[in-house]
Amino acid sequence: MSRLLLVRHGRTLLHKDDRFWGKTDITLSNIGIWQAEKLRDRLVGEKINAVYSSNLSRAHATAEIIASRHQLKITACDELNECNFGYAEGLTFAEISQLYPELAQVLSGFDTAVRFPGGENFNELNSRVQKFLKRLNEHKPKETILIVAHGGPLQIMICNLLGIDIKHWRQIRLYLASLSIVETYPQGAMLSLLNDVSHLKP
């Protein structure tokens, strides 16, 4: 058995207005740093064997804060980056509806046929996630692996690990600075924790 600790990065400086931020490299806000520190304290007792992160600042900084108590090198991976939203990058859904009505319709239907103009399509994002998962085969059983990334890649990863049709990826909610845990076995994977943010409560 291997344990995968799946963490979504903390809040960023551009958190407001619910905009589509994908490839844009945004840093953590002070709240985001605090959230990462709470995750660090929560996971301090874990025997973590390896740490992987998106190479975008908001995820990598979150990983650095958590890993600071474990003396582990962080492996940054392009495969864990958030979706490239192309021309929709930085827009709200309302703005997308005005500029790209067909895209807005596909997004509303949770359709995996989504393709962002000038950016990625869903299959490209899924292929990236599957490529990353192959990396995990290099690890020995019983290792605990921390993976810090973004909502989209982590939702798709959970679907792939559990054998759930990827069309359900957006039905998995992952809050900022949340922790999810998947235990992997030769026979398959088991979800033991999902979207937990109890470490952020007073």
* DSSP codes, 7-64: EE---BTT-GGG---SSS---B-HHHHHHHHHHHHHHTTS---EEEEESSHHHHHHHH
DSSP one-letter code for 140: P
Q: 8 - beta bridge partners?
A: 149
Domains and CATH numbers, the chain: 2-84+123-200 (3.40.50.1240)
Q: Which among 49, 6, 9 is positioned nearest to 183, based on CA atoms?
A: 6
What pLDDT is recorded for position 157? 98
**pTM beyond cutoff 0.85:** yes
Concerning whether 64 is annotated as a catalytic residue, the answer is no
C-alpha 56: how far from chain center: 11
**Average pLDDT along the chain, 202 residues, taken 10 residues at a time:** 96 89 96 98 97 98 97 96 96 95 88 90 95 94 97 97 94 97 95 98 88
- Selecting among 37, 60, 79, 82, the annotated active-site residue is 82
Distances 86 to 21, 23, 42, 182 between C-alpha atoms, Å: 10, 8, 36, 31
- Selecting among 9, 60, 79, 120, the annotated active-site residue is 9
Centre a 10 Å sphere on the Cβ of residue 198 and count the other Cβ atoms it contains.
Answer: 10
Concerning whether 9 is annotated as a catalytic residue, the answer is yes
Q: Which among 170, 188, 190, 169 is positioned nearest to 180, based on CA atoms?
A: 190
What pLDDT is recorded for position 165? 94
